[in-house]
Structure 1
Amino acid sequence: MENDPVADRLSTVYPELPPGERAIVRVLLDDYPFAALGSLRALAERAGVSPPTASRLFDRLGYGGFADFQAAVRDGARGRSRLLEFVSRAPDSPATSPELRQAAEDLRAGLDGTLAAATDPLLDAAATLLAEARTVWALGGPLSELAAEYLIRQLASLRPGAHRVPDSTQARARVVLDLKGSDVVVAYDFRRYSSGTARFVKAARARGARLVLVTDAWESPLAAEAEVLIRLPREAAGPIAPLAHEIAVTELLLVATAARLAPAERLADLDALTRTL
Structure 2
Amino acid sequence: MENDPIKAKLGAAYPDLPPGERAVVRVLLDDHPFAALGSLRALAERAGVSPPTASRLFDRLGYAGFADFQAAVRDRSRLLEFVTRAPTAPAEATTGAQVWQAAQDLRTGLEGTLAAVPEQLCQTVAALLADARTVWALGGPLSELAAEYLVRQLSGLRPGVHRVPEPAYARARTVLDLSGSDLVVAYDFRRYSSATARFVRAARARDARLVLVTDAWESPLAAEAEVLIRLPREAAGPIAPLAHEIAVTELLLVAAAARLAPAGRLADLDALAQTL
- TM category, shorter: 0.7 to 0.9
- Corresponding residue for 1:72? 69
Deviations 1:213-234 (A, max 9, x none): 1111111111111111111112
Deviations 1:199-250 (A, max 9, x none): 1111111111111111111111111111111111122231211111111000
Contact 2:138 2:185 in 1 (8 A): yes
- Corresponding residue for 2:242? 243
Q: How does 1:1-277 map to 2 (within 5 A)?
A: 6-15=6-15, 17-18=16-17, 20=19, 21-30=21-30, 33-34=34-35, 37-39=39-41, 46=48, 57-64=57-64, 68-73=65-70, 76=73, 86=83, 93=91, 95-277=94-276
Q: 1:114 to 1:226 in 2, by over 3 A?
A: same
Deviations 1:115-145 (A, max 9, x none): 1011112111111111111100001111111
Contact 2:40 2:51 in 1 (8 A): no
**Matched positions, count:** 268
Deviations 1:137-193 (A, max 9, x none): 001111111110010000001111000011111111111111111111101111121
Q: 1:178 to 1:71 in 2, by over 3 A?
A: same
Q: CA shift at 1:55, angstroms?
A: 6.5
Question: Counterparts of 2:260 and 2:18 in 1: how far apart (Å)?
Answer: 39
Contact 1:27 1:46 in 2 (8 A): no
Q: CA shift at 1:101, angstroms?
A: 1.1
Contact 1:24 1:43 in 2 (8 A): no
Q: Secondary structure at the match of 1:155?
A: helix
Q: CA shift at 1:9, angstroms?
A: 2.6
Structure 2: which 5+ residue stretches go unaligned?
none
Contact 2:103 2:236 in 1 (8 A): no
Question: Counterparts of 1:19 and 1:260 in 2: how far apart (Å)?
Answer: 43
> TM-score, normalization: structure 1?
0.82
Question: Counterparts of 2:206 and 2:246 in 1: how far apart (Å)?
Answer: 29
Question: Counterparts of 1:200 and 1:87 in 2: how far apart (Å)?
Answer: 42
Contact 1:185 1:210 in 2 (8 A): yes
Q: 1:29 to 1:179 in 2, by over 3 A?
A: same
Q: CA shift at 1:103, angstroms?
A: 1.0
Question: Counterparts of 1:101 and 1:128 in 2: how far apart (Å)?
Answer: 39
Deviations 1:94-122 (A, max 9, x none): 55222211111111111101110111121
Identity of aligned residues (%): 68
Q: 1:111 to 1:197 in 2, by over 3 A?
A: same
Question: Counterparts of 1:109 and 1:205 in 2: how far apart (Å)?
Answer: 35
